[in-house]
Amino acid sequence: MNIRRVSRKLGLLSWTQRSLLLEAIVLLGVVRTAILLVPFRYIARTVGLEAGESSFAPGSMQEAQQRGWAVRTAAAYTPWLSTCLAQALAVALLLRQRRIPCTLYLGVDSSHRAHAWARSGTEVLTGANAREGFVTVAAFSTLRDLLHSAR
């Protein structure tokens, strides 16, 4: 992706989309650093993740989908590798800002590869395409007790 193509593509986005994209890039950078430096359980605590799944009720799906799009897109453009875990954490943080619950799943497949994906309401927002064949080992959620979002 060269600069001209990227900026032309950016020009086609709405203001909301552009600002979400920028937020997502920043969060992905922060999260990546945290993952490199800090054990997961401290990251989980800071992000506000508790063991268990969050609501499956489809409230605020448009906002959730927008933020999922922003993180997935930003991850494709970061000069560093934005892992599945980084993307899941970033989207959980973006959603928490809007008081939208999110569940982060950690799993392995039969070859013992590890994967992380994030679900909010009825949709898997990050890590969905690689999810096949993976078994959930752990689930952590933000805003676990929120039954449905305000909007």
Q: Parallel, antiparallel, or unpaired for β 135-142 and 114-120? A: unpaired
Q: Which x/- pattern over 38-57 shows residues binding other proteins (rule: CB under 8 A)?
A: -xxx---------x------
Residue 88 Cβ vs other proteins, minimum distance, rounded to whole Å:
15
Among positions 121-140, residues that touch other proteins (CB under 8 A) are 135-138
Is 22 a binding residue for other proteins by CB under 8 A? The answer is no
Half-sphere exposure of 115 (CA within 13 A, CB side): 20
Is 65 a binding residue for other proteins by CB under 8 A? The answer is no
Q: What are phi and psi of 26, to 5 degrees?
A: -60, -50
Stretch that binds other proteins, among 12-20, 26-34, 57-65, 102-110 (CB under 8 A): 102-110
